[in-house]
Amino acid sequence: MPKRHPLDVVIVGAGVVGAACAYYAARAGLRAAVVDRGPVAGGTTGAGEGNLLVSDKEAGPELDLALLSAALWRDLAADLPEELEYEPKGGLVIAPDETALKALRAFAEGQRAAGVEAVEAGPSELRELEPHLAPGRAGGFLYPQDAQVQPAQAAARLLAASGAELHLGEEVTAVLTAGGAVRGVRTTRRELAAPAVVNAAGTWGGRIAELAGTALPVLPRRGFVLVTEPLPRVVRHKVYAADYIADVASGSAALQSSAVVEGTPAGPVLIGATRERVGFDRSLSTEALRRLAGQAAALFPVLADARVLRAYHGFRPYLPDHLPAIGPDPRAPGLLHACGHEGAGIGLAPATGVLVAAALTGAEPPLPLHPFRPDRFPEPAAQPKETGR
């Protein structure tokens, strides 16, 4: 007979979002199990740069979530300092001309009203902040609240600190129900019974929703990152061109690229970021890599002669309105969602975990859940069933 466990919640997904859900569920006194068909951080988390950004988010629900997460990451870094590799390096957004700088000023004004620290920097101040930056830029904005963690390590440490049962290498094949409510999951190896299931499956969140008899329109959005040879600290902050903000907000399926450049404590420079909707196509895009290299060298000419040691890519879990789905799904009682964060999942993970834990325990959430409600999307049209002949 399948083994059953006296659990409060089963969390599907061992990426950083699932790990944060497990961590804060444990802090709320709940016993959790985490299930993943692969290893810890084997999906989007393991292919991320570890961005903890407020700088790229306009005033609104996602920025509120990012600000809450930024505070929570600082607390986590104090509790688990070395394990997370937390680096409060700050972000620097660069405007190539006066038109872009004017747009950045308006963007920053709205952010400041929401609690973001944004400091304008002129051309001379840019060179003080980043001595190797290409000259001729009109200006930019420094965001001291931007930071970075090592994402796979962060997920692993949060899971370890949660004390949750881990069931890795086990695909969820069914979401169990009883009396019209979700009551656990079946995997390729066991059944796990619990009064709640959290869908933190990232790009596969739509599949878990489907198993529970509901729908969530999560799509994968592919992105590439270049990794250079170890270099002296030629890039001090997380530096990116202003057009990156527009790329993040865009719903285009076509290839988009805008330079995001940052150094790491170990020496290599990370260069992103591209976005394109190509399903789960894992083939290498030389066009994407060429664009990244050229845009990074335009920002930092010193990188033009640097050797690229490797490139990697991942799939961001994209939802049509660019907001994650967080909280209970009224269409499937007992099912909660914590997915669809696109490229911001690492940064938004702690706040997501706190909101999910509040929903699980009936506590008052620190932010309204309404903007992130999973049932905000139109129901998909019914597909005609194929009939035999």
Per residue of the chain (389 residues), give pLDDT as tens: 344 458 999 999 999 999 999 999 999 999 999 999 999 999 999 988 889 999 999 999 999 999 999 999 999 999 986 778 899 999 999 999 999 999 999 999 999 999 999 999 999 999 999 999 999 999 999 999 999 999 999 999 999 999 999 999 999 999 999 999 999 999 999 999 999 999 999 999 999 999 999 999 999 999 999 999 999 889 999 999 888 676 565 566 678 888 899 998 889 999 988 888 888 888 888 899 999 999 999 999 999 999 999 999 899 999 999 999 999 999 999 999 999 999 899 999 999 999 999 999 999 999 999 999 999 998 765 444 443 33
Side-chain half-sphere of 170: how many Cα atoms within 13 Å?
Answer: 21
How many residues are recorded in the chain?
Answer: 389
Q: Do domains 9-47+152-218+321-376 and 88-145+219-318 have the same CATH topology?
A: no
CA pair distance 11, 51, nearest whole angstrom: 23
Q: What is the pTM (predicted TM-score) of this model?
A: 0.93
Cis ω for the linkage preceding 273 (within 30 of 0): yes
CATH architecture of structural domain 9-47+152-218+321-376: 3-Layer(bba) Sandwich (3.50)
Pick the CATH number of 88-145+219-318 from 3.90.420.10, 1.20.1260.10, 3.30.9.10, 3.40.50.10600: 3.30.9.10
203 by DSSP, 3-state: which?
A: helix
CA pair distance 14, 5, nearest whole angstrom: 19
- Domain coordinates of the chain in residue numbers? 9-47+152-218+321-376, 88-145+219-318
- Phi, psi of 23, deg, nearest 5: -60, -50
